[in-house]
Structure 1
Amino acid sequence: MGVSTSRPDKGVALVTVDFPPVNALPAHGWYALADALRAAGRDPEVRCVVLAAEGRGFNAGVDIKELQRDPGHDALVAVNHGCAEAFAAVYDCAVPVVAAVGGFCLGGGIGLVGNADAIVAADDAVFGLPELDRGALGAATHLARLVPQHLMRALYYTSRTVTSRELHAHGSVWKVVPREELRAAALELAGEIAAKDGTLLRLAKAAINGIDPVDVRRSYRFEQGFTFEAQLSGVAGRVRDAFGKDGGRR
């Protein structure tokens, strides 16, 4: 259990998340993921990173039970900083990051894939931000990188999900494959990227980030301020506790 890194192919690092049962990460999990992504990007032998997950789904966001166990605000502060670190580590990784998404990709999972350079998804993958059902806010910044503005708003307000095929139609998913072919398809794309000159790839990543119209780090931290307001007002706790009675996790 945790975050591991392997080298399945030349020039490719595979970072795998495994937090059973649903890959809902505690604060230390987000930091561990950030560390693994940064380490892979610093390695001069790595030209592309594949971000994948074991288990039923890619990511279910933060571990709500960790927040519920804390009578104060320390857990919320820790997990919010951890999410910001992990999302930024994907975006700032010195080499391109390919996300391999199977099953559910919810909450913080959207923050990860929304900052990735490319997404390969299984045909069973669903993407969404159920934040309003979980007493939280955030990652609209990243959902807006996957779908048009008005669709993003409707999805955010309703907590609905979209399928991998729908995102493929919008151009944000590179390829949709059967679940059993997901890892191979992601590695195939990563291998094609890794075949390019390593120095030029790193320059290209920096250049593309530099022309981004939205500063994703600043935008996401702005959103998080409203998460703290919801917490301090008490509304977040009420919604989260109601959700927790069903044994759910974001």
Structure 2
Amino acid sequence: MSTHGDVHVEIERGIARVVLDRAPVNAFDRHFYDLVRSTFHKLSEDKAVRVVTLTGKGKHFCGGNDVNDFVDLDYEASVEYLAHVRLAFASIYECAVPVLGAINGAAVGTGIALASCCDVRIASERAKFALPEIDVGVLGGAKHVNRIATHGMTRLMMYTARRLDAAEAQRVGIADLVVPHDELTATVDGIAEEIARKSPAAIRLAKYGLNRTETMGLKEGYEFECTLTAAVRRTPEAREGALAFLEKREPSYAEDR
């Protein structure tokens, strides 16, 4: 592994398991942002991938940004640096298939933003969440958190840099599920396997639709969803799904044959 760290990917039966590996706390430098971006772009383009799980190696999900990068970062350099950050976050949020965040430990700064970009966050009871940027001379990440958490709690976290435990994070919407630490992998894998059994075409269209309609009003959003329903009906998987339901059997999609 280089000093910049590595992103490990294992693909099995449609499930891509992504592990962040940059000792000691999986903090990000610019190279690591680019590595995550390229990893998720490749996974989006891989038609064999139906769902992605994302976790950190060791005790932490992601300990934030490497603060060494900030010490001599002037205005011009920060503008260029943050472009790499935004593209990395976008690659997860815009991944063509669902991304399940397996939050195995600390998810602070960059870590909580990464988690917020996932479709679903399953947290270990040991997980911690924070927006500590105010203490290290930077800002950012709160907008991602504000998508899923209450406005007041997002602001409180941003202004104070306080940490939330997993139970409190679940109460305010940051964590969707909290499980015992030794059950995290099995729980996330179980959800991933459930998603992987669905129609690949429908799952990709569902992810696309959920992202596109997130900022739409009810009428506009539902009209857009209706166009996706029509698009699904053009796929052979749609008919197979309906027949399997009527015949009370598991569907057999093209990629399974």
Q: TM-score range by the shorter chain?
A: 0.7 to 0.9
| 1:29-48 map, 5 Å | 29-48=32-51
Question: Contact (CA 8 Å) 1:66, 1:75: kept in 2 or not?
Answer: no
Matched, 1:99 2:104: no
Query: Separation in 2 of the partners of 1:168 and 1:72?
Result: 37
Q: Which runs of 5+ in 1 are unaligned?
A: 215-250
75-84 vs 202-211, which deviates more?
A: 75-84
The two structures, once aligned, show a CA RMSD in angstroms of 1.7
Q: Structure 1 length normalisation: TM-score?
A: 0.80
Query: Separation in 1 of the partners of 2:20 and 2:77?
Result: 21
Change (3 A) 1:75 1:52: farther
| 1:136-175 map, 5 Å | 136-175=138-177
For this pair of structures, how many residues does the alignment match?
212
Question: Contact (CA 8 Å) 2:89, 2:117: kept in 1 or not?
Answer: yes
Question: Contact (CA 8 Å) 1:27, 1:75: kept in 2 or not?
Answer: no
Task: Point out the structure with max Rg over C-alpha.
Answer: 2
Query: Separation in 2 of the partners of 1:189 and 1:174?
Result: 13
Q: Which residue of 1 aligns with 2:193?
A: 191
Change (3 A) 1:204 1:71: closer
Q: State the Cα deviation string for residues 137-169 of structure 1 (Å, max 9, x = none).
A: 011111112321111111111111212212223
Larger RCO (CA under 8 A, 6+ residues apart): 1
Query: Separation in 1 of the partners of 2:185 and 2:82?
Result: 29
174-183 vs 97-106, which deviates more?
A: 174-183
The 3-state SS of whatever aligns with 1:57 is coil
Structure 1 residue 125, shift from structure 2 partner? 0.3
Q: State the Cα deviation string for residues 181-217 of structure 1 (Å, max 9, x = none).
A: 2222211111111111000011001110111128xxx
The 3-state SS of whatever aligns with 2:7 is strand
Q: Which residue of 2 aligns with 1:24?
A: 27
Q: Which runs of 5+ in 2 are unaligned?
A: 217-257
Matched, 1:85 2:92: no
Match of 1:130 among 129, 132, 139: 132
Structure 1 residue ranges, 4+ long, deviating more than 6 angstroms after superposition:
none
Change (3 A) 1:134 1:12: same
Q: Structure 2 length normalisation: TM-score?
A: 0.78
